[in-house]
């Protein structure tokens, strides 16, 4: 049996009339890709923020010396700091300067509160290794003899609701990406079926001349891949424009939390890869749809 290639080569362009961009599919794919890139960027940005939060304060504790007597407070603060610095597993420990404390309480107590008679606790920030952080009781036991008025707060405890929210939003964005992929695939299925109906007579003729299912499927795959490529690139460019605008606004805000949601280089590479993934998805879905439809012919 003679070898028959599974495509029509250059002639494939002519076998199905060119009607690119005339139908809604490229534009629907552009919208899908736009939303997919935004959802993915949202998820990747949140992932970056979560990682940043975890790295910055995930294993941090704050020791407060709640003592009304300023001398005793100062003595205990120094003893607690020394105790922490001696403890294996403490990566760093620092006394929060009074000026920084004053800045922190200013929104609640007003300017000059630190100079008033209001007793402000002394504070020590300490970063722990994950191992020691898991055994935070040891830290409490080490600090307590040196500073009986000390209260050890685990920052992770305070951040847990925020971390849970970030995690939930990450899952939401992942779900949105999956939904977009499903909707894109459904669009391609509908477009492929419509194209099959439009070109049914041509396909029947090719079929009766001995064209294989794969030969016919490749004709449609090529067209749909071109439509998907156009739509994906339009969607990507639009989404990148929006992301750059949002990034500028975030930088203007100067928020540390929002700023930590910046996209890493690897995230940009993933986003740039989405159009290629979209084209591959469209080609695969088109091929399967066409092959299934052709299988119904003899």
| Contact residues for other proteins, defined by CB under 8 A | 1-5, 8-11, 14-15, 17, 201-202, 204-213, 215, 295, 298
CB of residue 207 to other proteins, shortest distance in Å? 8
CB of residue 26 to other proteins, shortest distance in Å? 20
216/239 with CB nearer other proteins:
216
- Write down how long the chain is: 298
62/202 with CB nearer other proteins:
202
CB of residue 198 to other proteins, shortest distance in Å? 11
CB of residue 286 to other proteins, shortest distance in Å? 20
99/209 with CB nearer other proteins:
209
184/215 with CB nearer other proteins:
215
CB of residue 9 to other proteins, shortest distance in Å? 7
CB of residue 22 to other proteins, shortest distance in Å? 14
CB of residue 213 to other proteins, shortest distance in Å? 8
11/99 with CB nearer other proteins:
11
Task: Give the long-range contacts of residues 206-212, CB within 8 A, separation 24 or more.
Answer: 206/15, 207/294, 207/297, 212/4, 212/6
Contact present, 80 and 140 (Cβ < 8 Å): no
The Cα 56–Cα 64 span in angstroms is 19
133/287 with CB nearer other proteins:
287
Phi, psi of 65, deg, nearest 5:
-100, 100
22/201 with CB nearer other proteins:
201
């Amino acid at each position: 049996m003679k070898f028959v290639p599974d495509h029509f080569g250059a002639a494939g362009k002519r076998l199905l009339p060119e009607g690119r961009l005339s139908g809604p599919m490229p534009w629907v794919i552009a919208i899908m890709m736009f939303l997919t890139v935004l959802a993915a960027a949202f998820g990747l940005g949140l992932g970056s923020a979560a990682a940043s939060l975890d790295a910055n304060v995930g294993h941090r504790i704050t020791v407060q010396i709640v003592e009304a007597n300023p001398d005793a407070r100062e003595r205990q603060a120094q003893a607690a700091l020394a105790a922490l610095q001696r403890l294996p597993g403490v990566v760093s420990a620092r006394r929060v300067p009074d000026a920084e404390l004053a800045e922190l309480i200013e929104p609640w107590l007003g300017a000059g509160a630190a100079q008033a008679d209001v007793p402000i606790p002394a504070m020590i920030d300490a970063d722990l290794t994950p191992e020691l952080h898991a055994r935070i009781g040891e830290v409490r036991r080490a600090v307590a003899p040196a500073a009986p008025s000390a209260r050890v707060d685990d920052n992770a405890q305070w951040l847990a609701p925020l971390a849970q929210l970030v995690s939930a939003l990450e899952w939401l964005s992942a779900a949105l990406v999956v939904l977009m992929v499903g909707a894109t695939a459904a669009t391609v299925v509908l477009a492929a079926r419509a194209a099959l109906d439009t070109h049914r007579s041509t396909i029947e003729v090719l079929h009766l001349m001995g064209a294989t299912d794969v030969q016919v499927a490749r004709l449609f795959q090529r067209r749909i891949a071109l439509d998907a490529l156009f739509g994906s690139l339009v969607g990507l460019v639009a989404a990148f424009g929006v992301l750059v605008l949002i990034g500028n606004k975030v930088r203007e805000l100067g928020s540390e939390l929002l700023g930590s949601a910046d996209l890493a280089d690897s995230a940009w590479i993933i986003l740039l890869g989405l159009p290629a993934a979209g084209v591959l998805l469209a080609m695969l879905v088109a091929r399967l749809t066409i092959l299934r439809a052709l299988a119904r012919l003899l």
